[in-house]
Amino acid sequence: MAVSPYVQAMQELFRANTRSREFPAHGAKVHSVAWSCCGRRLASGSFDKTASVFLLEKDRLVKENNYRGHGDSVDQLCWHPSNPDLFVTASGDKTIRIWDVRTTKCIATVNTKGENINICWSPDGQTIAVGNKDDVVTFIDAKTHRSKAEEQFKFEVNEISWNNDNNMFFLTNGNGCINILSYPELKPIQSINAHPSNCICIKFDPMGKYFATGSADALVSLWDVDELVCVRCFSRLDWPVRTLSFSHDGKMLASASEDHFIDIAEVETGEKLWEVQCESPTFTVAWHPKRPLLAFACDDKDGKYDSSREAGTVKLFGVGAWHRWAKELAHLLLSVSCSWELHKQGHLC
Let me know if 149 is exposed, middle or buried by CB neighbors in 10 A (0-12, 13-18, 19+).
middle
Kind and range of the H or E run holding 204: strand 199-204
Pairing of strands 220-224, 230-234: antiparallel
Q: What is the four-CA torsion angle of 239, 245, 250, 251, rounded to 10 degrees? A: -40
Reduced to 3 states, what is the DSSP secondary structure of residue 339?
helix
**Helix-helix angle 5-15:325-344, to 10 degrees:** 140
CB atoms closer than 10 angstroms to residue 215: 22
Contact of 201 with 244, CB cutoff 8 Å: yes
pLDDT, tens only, 35-71: 999 999 999 999 999 999 999 998 899 999 999 999 9
Q: What is the reported pLDDT for 202?
A: 98
Kind and range of the H or E run holding 62: strand 60-67
Whether residue 348 has pLDDT greater than 50? no
CB atoms closer than 10 angstroms to residue 153: 14
pLDDT range class, residue 343, cuts 50, 70, 90: low
